[in-house]
Structure 1
Amino acid sequence: MTIPTPAPPTFDARPLVEPVPPGAAHAFVQELKRTGRLPSGSAAAVVFIVFGIVVLLVFGSISLTLITAVLGAMAAAASGTGEAGAAGILAAFLPLLFIGAIVTVLVVVGVRMRRSREERLYRLDRFARANAMSYVPRFDDPGLPGMIFSLGSSRNATDLVRGERPRFVEFGNYAYTTGSGKNRTTHNWGYVAVKLDVPLPNIVLDATSNNSLFGSNLPAAFDKDQRLSLEGDFDRYFDLYCPAGYETDALYLFTPDIMARFIDHAAALDVEIVDDWLFLYSRRQFSTLDPATWAWLFSVVGALLDKFAQWARWRDDRLATQGSVQDAVAAGTPQAAAAGIPSVTPAAQAVPFVAPLESLRPPPGVAPPGRRLRQRVPWPAIIVIAVFALFWILSQAGVFGALVGGLFGG
């Protein structure tokens, strides 16, 4: 009797768009908070409260000043007509009504923002469940080995959607901050993390389609001598960087069929292979309520997954130790026979308990020279920014005005 193989789950985006039952989203968020999966305090709520106070103080005070001045003028004008009492009452209560209106608007906006946030969490959780995955609202400082995960401060991954089979895959949004004060900048990324079978050399595919005027949009720059040109049209879509001495290994990993998969499905994404992880990066959010974005990401990962099995066979020959090879063949040497160890004949090698030749291969792993790419300082971008900064400083100091006046004033 043949047991039918269960069909793989189909992509189901209905939870992202279908109506949410009344109260379900709020109850779900309360459960997240109760179980510690979501912090009780929300950064968005704090920002909204601060924004509301600023609006109330600045806009409200200006508006109240204008209203008070207008009502004062109305009261002065009405003093001779017998309507001064009504104007005085209006002047007293209208500012209070105006403040009440501002507070009401802020409360309504805040409630809608909270409901929108709760529905987002609820929809993403139901979407993950519908596709045999799990949902994690937030994970601070995830500590992944990719290039974006060790930069700046206040690192956090949000709206993580994780799958375990056929291998671990994580979709998420990631943010970190650099600088301080007025120069504080928040950097936002979308990423996909895929667990590989074995550690591989640090390889970066810098997509050419998302580069800017200053070059790559990646937060790291790499030495040009690590740039490897591949056959066909691959160089039109990606700049591939691999550690020096690992060019042959990169060619082994990026066979023509795998290059075609990356071109056809991931040409808009930057790719990093580091340790036993593969990362896909973009400057846009990946974990959203947009079904089209999820359909695209699922198609990218699905197109690549079945090719990763080829990479599991890669080994770094630099890790091979002479001792392990000599020990494996010592039984066939005269010294082994003198020690009373029977030699291994060709016929004996066929028995099932003899170690196969696979045991003579290097162990999984990467030698130190291949674990990380050498980075460089992006001098062209720094020089351009410095020139613009110098131009702005000189213009603010009036140097250009004085120079023009000196040339044409006389």
Structure 2
Amino acid sequence: MATTFDTRPLTRPVTKAETSEFRRAMLRSGEAGWRPNTAGAVAVVALFAVVLPTVITANVAFRAGWSLRTSLLLWAALSVGVVVVAVLRRGRGGNHWVRLLRAWEFARANGMRFSPQSADPPYQGAIFGLGRDRRVLEHVWSTDGPVADCGRYRYTTGSGKESKVHQWQFAAIRLEGPLPHMLLDARANNTFMGSNLPTSFDRDQRISLGGEFDRHFDLYAPDQYGHDAFYVFTPDLMAHLIDETHAFDVEFVDDWMFLYTRYDLSVAEPATWERLARISDTVTARMRDRSRTYRDLRVADQAQAPLPPGMVAHAPVHAPHAIAPQGRRLRRKRYWLPTALIVGGWFAFQALRSWLDR
């Protein structure tokens, strides 16, 4: 049966009255994801209500030669105006609340849930667990069905002037059993510096599957898991990956499949769910089958499990699902050369300074 999502709620006309009522209901719900950031909003409004009127008043008063009293009156009027505009704009809600209403109705129509923001997800993929202030914005998820999670993931690195906010759009797809940690790094979204992913893995873990597939993806698999990768990525699966996910980075961690992109998985766009439906019927269906039948023969109880008559040792059989420790995580890249150059440069500098002080 083909996967379908009812995307009509994402495009239906929404009235101002509906938006206002929805906003009031959600703010009254008490759910954490719907609580407004009142402190942050007050701080921003207060900043603009002080800085902007002060700059304008100082400029006008200096040019016109106004008295202190007249200048203060102008400053007060401008400050009140900034606050009134901010309150009215926040009260109307605008396109932001229309977008939230449509996404909420879409989730409800498809047996899923929606929150404008959720806490840091517990996933182990390449984009997760980095930086601080990690959260999922415009979050749609479900406890049923293969497409379990979709949203905009955000985290912050650095501090002060070096602070930077990173954003990714992702989909988390539940498999039927664990697989070795494998990554398909899409070449279509790479930069001139290489992979756009925030986590790098040792390049000696790269595996070539040959032909057209290698022109679209760089495949990483743990050491000695090359034959396992050939079992998982059958020719028909590789063809569907090229057709449907060539613009995504695809990662397999434990019993999850992740799709990563910067721009192409907005939960408020019907095209996102149409694309995920096609992926579910092609890539996901085959990956769920692979994960159900795969077993890692490096695990003792699986290697010793009796095989059906006529089945060779490396053929997939139904057996207790487990992945050996060496296959659970890819080895991350270590930047030894930059570290060595920095340490060597520091010692060279100290030696030079000591020599000059003689």
**Shorter-chain TM-score: which interval?**
0.7 to 0.9
Report the 3-state secondary structure (helix = DSSP H, G, I; strand = E; otherwise coil) of the residue aligned with 1:143.
coil
CA distance in structure 1 between the aligned counterparts of 2:160 and 2:177, rounded to whole angstroms: 43
CA distance in structure 2 between the aligned counterparts of 1:360 and 1:103, rounded to whole angstroms: 67
CA distance in structure 2 between the aligned counterparts of 1:95 and 1:220, rounded to whole angstroms: 50
Q: Give the corresponding residue for 1:37.
A: 31
CA distance in structure 1 between the aligned counterparts of 2:195 and 2:280, rounded to whole angstroms: 23
CA contact (8 A) 1:71 1:91 kept: no
Measure how far apart 1:128 and its partner are: 1.6
Q: Give the corresponding residue for 1:108.
A: 88
Q: Give the corresponding residue for 2:312.
A: none
CA distance in structure 2 between the aligned counterparts of 1:184 and 1:171, rounded to whole angstroms: 26
Q: In the alignment, which of 342, 347, 363 is matched to residue 320 of structure 2? A: 363
Q: Give the corresponding residue for 2:295.
A: 315
Q: In the alignment, which of 180, 183, 186 is matched to residue 207 of structure 1? A: 186
CA contact (8 A) 1:202 1:372 kept: yes
Q: Give the corresponding residue for 2:11.
A: 17
Q: Give the corresponding residue for 1:52.
A: 45
CA separation of 1:103 and 1:361: change in aligned 2, threshold 3 A: closer
Q: Give the corresponding residue for 2:57.
A: 64
CA separation of 1:94 and 1:244: change in aligned 2, threshold 3 A: closer
The TM-score, its normalising length taken from structure 2, stands at 0.81
CA contact (8 A) 1:172 1:192 kept: yes
Q: Give the corresponding residue for 2:333.
A: 376
1:264 matched to 2:258: no
CA separation of 1:24 and 1:38: change in aligned 2, threshold 3 A: farther
After superposition, the CA RMSD in angstroms is 3.3
Residue type matched to 1:314 in 2?
Answer: Y
Q: Give the corresponding residue for 1:239.
A: 218
CA contact (8 A) 1:121 1:137 kept: yes
1:133 matched to 2:112: yes
Measure how far apart 1:63 and its partner are: 1.4
Residue type matched to 2:12 in 1?
Answer: E
Measure how far apart 1:275 and its partner are: 0.4
Measure how far apart 1:291 and its partner are: 2.7
CA distance in structure 2 between the aligned counterparts of 1:59 and 1:262, rounded to whole angstroms: 52
Measure how far apart 1:141 and its partner are: 1.6
Measure how far apart 1:91 and its partner are: 7.1
List runs of 5+ in structure 1 lacking aligned partners. 1-6, 76-87, 330-348, 350-357, 387-410
Number of residue-to-residue matches in the alignment: 333
CA separation of 1:184 and 1:212: change in aligned 2, threshold 3 A: same
CA contact (8 A) 2:33 2:115 kept: no
CA separation of 1:72 and 1:263: change in aligned 2, threshold 3 A: same
CA separation of 1:65 and 1:91: change in aligned 2, threshold 3 A: closer
CA distance in structure 2 between the aligned counterparts of 1:189 and 1:144, rounded to whole angstroms: 14
Q: Give the corresponding residue for 2:280.
A: 301
CA distance in structure 1 between the aligned counterparts of 2:227 and 2:3, rounded to whole angstroms: 38
CA distance in structure 2 between the aligned counterparts of 1:360 and 1:106, rounded to whole angstroms: 63
List runs of 5+ in structure 2 lacking aligned partners. 310-314, 343-358
CA separation of 1:296 and 1:103: change in aligned 2, threshold 3 A: same
Report the 3-state secondary structure (helix = DSSP H, G, I; strand = E; otherwise coil) of the residue aligned with 1:233.
helix
CA separation of 1:51 and 1:218: change in aligned 2, threshold 3 A: same
1:28 matched to 2:22: yes
CA distance in structure 1 between the aligned counterparts of 2:241 and 2:3, rounded to whole angstroms: 24
Report the 3-state secondary structure (helix = DSSP H, G, I; strand = E; otherwise coil) of the residue aligned with 1:317.
coil
User: % of aligned pairs identical?
Assistant: 37
CA contact (8 A) 1:320 1:362 kept: no
CA contact (8 A) 1:15 1:124 kept: yes
Report the 3-state secondary structure (helix = DSSP H, G, I; strand = E; otherwise coil) of the residue aligned with 1:144.
coil
CA separation of 1:110 and 1:366: change in aligned 2, threshold 3 A: same
Deviates more, 1:149-158 or 1:192-201: 149-158
Residue type matched to 2:8 in 1?
Answer: R
Residue type matched to 1:103 in 2?
Answer: V
CA contact (8 A) 1:203 1:243 kept: yes
Residue type matched to 1:365 in 2?
Answer: A
Deviations 1:219-273 (A, max 9, x none): 1111121100012200111000000111000000000000011100100000110
Measure how far apart 1:215 and its partner are: 0.9
Q: Give the corresponding residue for 2:352.
A: none
Q: Give the corresponding residue for 1:149.
A: 128
Residue type matched to 1:363 in 2?
Answer: P
CA separation of 1:102 and 1:309: change in aligned 2, threshold 3 A: closer
The TM-score, its normalising length taken from structure 1, stands at 0.71
CA distance in structure 1 between the aligned counterparts of 2:64 and 2:122, rounded to whole angstroms: 61
CA separation of 1:111 and 1:48: change in aligned 2, threshold 3 A: same
CA contact (8 A) 2:34 2:115 kept: no
CA distance in structure 2 between the aligned counterparts of 1:145 and 1:30, rounded to whole angstroms: 36
Measure how far apart 1:178 and its partner are: 1.4
Report the 3-state secondary structure (helix = DSSP H, G, I; strand = E; otherwise coil) of the residue aligned with 2:280.
helix
CA distance in structure 1 between the aligned counterparts of 2:22 and 2:205, rounded to whole angstroms: 49
Q: Give the corresponding residue for 1:118.
A: 97
Deviations 1:22-78 (A, max 9, x none): 4433443444444443346434x54443333222222211211233344446x9xxx
CA separation of 1:187 and 1:321: change in aligned 2, threshold 3 A: same
Which has the greater radius of gyration? 1
